[in-house]
Amino acid sequence: MNKKKIISIILIVSVSLALGLFYFYLRENNVISNKENKKEQQLENFKIFLPSTKELITKEVYAKKEIQELKKIEIIIESFLRELNSPFKETRILGIYRDKENIVYIDLSSDFCAPMDALQEYLLLKAFYKTLKNNFPWINDIKILINNKEIETLSGHFLIENSLKEYGEEN
Amino acid sequence: MRKIMFIIISIIFSLSANAQEENPRVLLKFGKHQDFYRFVFISEEFDIIHSSSVVLQKDEKLRVSFSKEIQIEFEGRILQTENTIRGIKFYKKNGSFIFSTSDIKEIKVFKYENPYKIVIDAYFNQESIEEKPQIKGAILIDAGHGGKQEGIVVNGQKEKDISLFICKELAAKLAQKGINTSLPRASDEDLSIKKRLNIANNLKPRIFLSIHVSSGDYFTIYNSPLKKEKTDDGSKISFIEEKFINNFTKIFKLRFNEQIYQEKIPVTILKNSISPALMIELPRKVSLLDKTYNNKIIDALTQVVIETLSTKEKTKEDKK
């Protein structure tokens, strides 16, 4: 009789433990998937253009969702710069401004105007323009400032005082 | 009998000589004023002046015709079939006298008596005259970068110095071959893209060549896919650019082991130039110290320029 009681108690305890573990397992999984869902909701997908040897290549990047457009632009430019070689990847963003005609002014550190070949300079300007224009179609034009100043050229081949449009939209 | 024959022949010769001399003389006076040339034809005969006609041709040359054969005397000498009067070409064609200035925009003609004379004021385009001294630069050779804009650094040397050296040597070599050259930058100075472009577009060279150095071991020749300013002779510009590129590729392939690339990108000075414009990036191997390699490049570039220019001349002649 005692034996039967002991077996019954062990069975009850085992079943209770199994049920308890199963409950906790389900709960844990639910939390994780919820967390993943939340994380997905917080990220946004962007396409950036990058200069390669003779042409542009594209890359998908995920960045934290932002409401403010200028903040979004900053995140995209940071992603763009990170993908470049030295010294361009060391470039710091000093400011981003937008005027009433939707021209965006990007103020960068002088690392961005390092010496390069004509083709490299062209691809850099084109990639920069297309990266912003592709993700923010409302942008009418982009102007690059270096250390808060307008400059004639990045590396001596292309005039950038006025606009980047002619390089970005050139076929 | 022989004596008689000799006398007759002499008489015939003297008569024909007299007949030639009988062509009335018209005295020409010429002066250049601030914005017009003044031609004055003076004759003793009323008919010559009265029946003369003056026409400004479509090619902006001045044609003066007289009703009969005359001789023109200028500064004590009789003008021949072809002459140059103070820089203006003058020739006789079908009985008319052509003054080949090619820049006359308007003429005013006055006829006077006592003495009989015709006064022609030929107004020229002031700008074209002023530009003439600049047009002598057939080839404009632009040394890339300069001053604070140092360009890339190869073998411890700055692009601005290498490009300047090559450009100066190339200009000297072309000058030896009788080709006029100009350099927008002849020393280590800051020269903006806009200034380079202004020089090129004022000078209107036959070829505008910009020399740079590449960060790779290859030659790259650039021209612009399209010109900003659409000129009347756009197809001519493209033709010369393509000719230059073909000659460059052909000659450099024969003489160098390095790869040769061609790129069509809107480099500002190429896109905005109203003349045929090309940019060449030399391999990073180029060095101020390697005279043999530099001379090889300069010789090859000289040949490219000469062949391109001679092709252009042939094309002009073909059209004629």
3-state secondary structure of A106: strand
Domain locations in chain A?
2-40, 42-168
C-alpha distance from A38 to closest chain B C-alpha (Å): 46
As a whole number, mean pLDDT of residues B34-50 equals 84
Residue to mutate among B142, B158, B161, B267, with most A CBs inside 10 A, is B267
Tell me how far the alpha carbon of residue B11 is from its chain's centroid: 51
pLDDT at site B89: 78
In terms of Cβ atoms closer than 10 Å to its own Cβ (0-12, 13-18, 19+), residue B25 is middle
Q: Could you tell me the pLDDT band of residue A120, with boundaries at 50, 70 and 90?
A: very high
B144 contacts A156? CB cut-off 8 A: yes
What's the pTM value of the predicted model, to 2 decimals?
0.65
For residue B265, list chain A residues with Cβ-Cβ distance below 8 A: 118-119, 122, 170
Q: What is the ipTM of this complex?
A: 0.75
Contact B277, B200 (CB under 8 A): yes
Residue to mutate among B148, B150, B152, B219, with most A CBs inside 10 A, is B152
Q: Of A19-33, B16-30, B85-99, which range is least confident? A: B16-30
Residues in a beta bridge with B63: B55, B98
What are the tens digits of pLDDT across the range B136-175?
A: 458 999 999 999 999 999 989 999 999 999 999 999 999 8
Q: Of A21-35, A124-138, B294-308, which range is least confident? A: A21-35
B225 contacts A118? CB cut-off 8 A: no
Q: Is A117 on the interface with B (CB under 8 A)?
A: yes
Contact B39, B122 (CB under 8 A): yes
Q: Is A110 on the interface with B (CB under 8 A)?
A: no
As a whole number, mean pLDDT of residues B127-144 equals 63
Q: Is A51 on the interface with B (CB under 8 A)?
A: no
